[in-house]
Amino acid sequence: MSRQTANPLSTRFRGLVRRCGDSERIAIESATPEAAFELQRRGYRVLDAQEPLELACAFKVPNEIKMVRSSWRVVEEA
């Protein structure tokens, strides 16, 4: 990613971070190394978001449980 591409991306992140608590820590699930380095260069501490996101996905609301059970029934009937 060129510096010209990374700068608008970093600028958009900065606006988002300001709206979400204005922390210098940013957890990213997936990014190019260039984007992560650009964010670090701009003073952000870039963290891996994979584990917290997986943990959040492990919790299901009742409607999600109904959908999972419905999917199981479809597979069992097939």
In tens, the pLDDT along 18-48 reads 888 877 888 888 888 888 888 888 888 988 8
Cβ-based burial of 39 (10 A; exposed 0-12, middle 13-18, buried ≥19): buried
Distance, in Å, from the CA atom of 44 to the CA atom of 36, rounded to the nearest integer, reads: 9
Question: Pseudo-torsion of CA 28, 54, 19, 39, nearest 10°?
Answer: -10
pLDDT at residue 69 tops 60: yes
The predicted structure's pLDDT at residue 10: 63
